[in-house]
A and B are shown apart, each in its own frame.
Chain A
């Protein structure tokens, strides 16, 4: 599995470069411009052909990479912060009223079907462009919180937290100085998983018409593709599928490997595997 160890990060880096280039305006600026005829075949002008309106499909797929990263990074960062904090607090005060309240909140959110929840948030915000992002953050923190809570309880039993408390550290200091450094690997793996999940969710939501607005995304491309294939046009579908699949697959593998490599309990197992 050494090959996987290198390929997955390399693919992710390639996507990052594509996204940064879009942000800096280096390429894919003209994803909305009509530069060709309707459904032009792949050529040197349009490497992956054009869509129904005559827009370049490759440019659209590359520009959508930036959209995917915007959604994935924002949701992963915010839900890791919320989930990490609430999970650590719940774990530290395990069994208290506060713990019960956080668990109740988590259970309640998990009980609402995700796409319905996004729809309800979009409804409440009356179609605000960030409704989808907000809904994802509110839903995705719960998994992170559950993992962090369990890990905090485990750490709490090992005694050093009690020692820090006895030494006069405040709860805030215990969380920042003693818990967070030991939870970093858990948070990093969870954030990667949320990043992937957010990108997958965006595709479904945009496909349904309640996701990305006034921009370009792989989900919007697939929504177009659903119509295109009835007319025998497959380039939109192939482009969006390949871009989406590559990032999700690389992200999932990366999370898998990080979980094994970064966890102190399995880190050495990996070393012996190599020998």
Chain B
């Protein structure tokens, strides 16, 4: 029997194990943006600064200190969520993230849930009819879906629903209730489902087909269990680990990459557009905050995946 205390220890150990990862990510982001990046002192002084002015400002900004001290300082600020101010509007980066993150979550969640569920369903149908016509159709369409770029899907949906049919708004985020939310979230949701379903269906199908070879599945079939019962109770359980790991792992990558593309194209004021604008204008504090934050999100996602696998499969011990 596992006690609650044991579980807590497991989570703590897993989070501690992700420390080298967090250090690596922050080190890379710090090196790229601060060490190699353009010097903010130059930008602040404008054209033709004297060498003395430059040195004075760099001392004031703490740029004359050694690399490792500045990195430690950056880590300290990241840990205390003191993320500084944006260079363009002067808003606190923390406030900026708090304002934009919920919008991105609302934007991406329906597509993520719908896309995963649909892919799992299609993969189950394909795996059940393995080698048959339905299986070949689903795997064939999956490859087509994988070959369509996210960009193509976005423009096509914009053309069909925004320009031809005019059913949904294709720009902005004027959400003030459930109806306007549905109108604004429809095209991004469709785009997300189309972009992810090919990859996910293919992966889920491969895992399910593998799990179907197990002896207990054949026994269940011999006893006359129906497709739904066999798929959910016997097959899915046998391959829950890789499927769940993949779903959880894809969250941080999706949260940043998906929102970056859709929000910048559809002018939706989420974290993706803020990041995009920061990339174009070279807004150092925002880029560093987003990179650091996504690394934390990744570490949490890895821990959650481990935890879920443990809960689902008692064979994985609290190692």
A165→B79 CA distance, assembly (Å):
48
Please measure, in the bound complex, the distance between the C-alpha atom of A108 and the C-alpha atom of B148, giving whole angstroms: 28
Interface hit among B113-121, B231-239, B251-259? B251-259
Interface pick from B95-103, B149-157, B213-221: B149-157
Query: CB-CB contacts of A88-127 with B at 8 A, as 1s and 0s?
Result: 0000000000000000110111011111100111111110
Whether A108 lies near B24 (C-beta < 8 A) is yes
Assess the B143–A222 pair: CB atoms within 8 A: no
Which of B3-11, B58-66, B81-89, B272-280 faces chain A? B272-280
Docked-complex contact A112 and B33, CB < 8 angstroms:
no
Residue of B nearest to A138 (CB): B28
Interface assignment of A53: CB less than 8 Å from any CB of chain B: no
In the assembly, what is the distance between CA of A225 and CA of B154, in Å?
A: 11
Q: A107-B24, A252-B143 are in contact. Are A229 and B155 (CB under 8 A)?
A: yes
Number of A-B contacts (CB under 8 A): 128
Residues in B with CB closer than 8 Å to A126 are 37-38
Contact with A along B18-38 (1 / 0, CB 8 A): 001100110011011101111
B155:A123 contact, CB within 8 angstroms: no
Closest residue of chain A to B160 (Cβ to Cβ) is: A229
The CA of A126 and the CA of B148, in the complex, are separated in Å by: 31
Query: Of the candidates A111, A219, A237, which one forms a contact with B295 in the assembled complex, judged by CB atoms under 8 Å apart?
Result: A111
- Interface residue tally for chain B (C-beta within 8 Å): 48
Asked if B158 CB lies within 8 Å of chain A CBs, one says yes
Q: Smallest CB-CB separation from A256: which chain B residue?
A: B143
Query: Within 8 Å of chain B (Cβ to Cβ): is A198?
Result: no
Given contacts A208-B261, A226-B155, contact A113 B36 (CB under 8 A): no
Judged by a CB distance under 8 angstroms, whether B12 is at the interface is no
- B128 beta carbon closer than 8 Å to chain A: no
| Docked pose: A233 CA to B146 CA in angstroms | 26
Looking at B178-186, B286-294, B309-317, the stretch in contact with chain A turns out to be B286-294
Min Cβ gap B164→A in Å is 9
Closest to A251 in B: B147
Q: Tell whether A237 pairs with B155 under 8 Å between CB atoms, given A115-B256, A126-B38.
A: yes
Q: Least Cβ distance of A161 to chain B in Å?
A: 29
Nearest CB of B to A196, in Å: 8
The reply on B269 being an interface residue by CB < 8 A is no
Q: Indicate with 1 or 0, residue by residue over A151-164, a CB within 8 angstroms of chain B CB atoms.
A: 00000000000000
Contact partners of A229 in chain B: CB under 8 A: 155, 158-159, 163
Does B265 interact with chain A (Cβ within 8 Å)?
Answer: yes
For B264, the chain A residues whose CB sits under 8 A away are 208
What 12 new A-B contacts, CB under 8 Å, besides A112-B295, A124-B37?
A: A105-B24, A108-B24, A109-B28, A111-B299, A113-B256, A113-B257, A116-B260, A126-B37, A208-B279, A222-B149, A245-B147, A252-B143
Chain A interfacial positions (CB closer than 8 Å to B): 104-105, 107-109, 111-116, 119-126, 200, 203-204, 207-210, 219, 222, 225-226, 229-230, 232, 234, 237, 241, 244-245, 248-249, 252-253, 256
B interface residues (Cβ-Cβ under 8 A, vs A): 20-21, 24-25, 28-29, 31-33, 35-38, 143-144, 146-152, 154-156, 158-159, 163, 252-253, 256-257, 260-261, 264-265, 275-276, 279-280, 282, 287, 290-291, 294-295, 298-299
9 residue pairs A–B, Cβ–Cβ below 8 Å: A108-B24, A112-B28, A112-B291, A112-B295, A204-B150, A204-B151, A234-B159, A244-B149, A253-B143
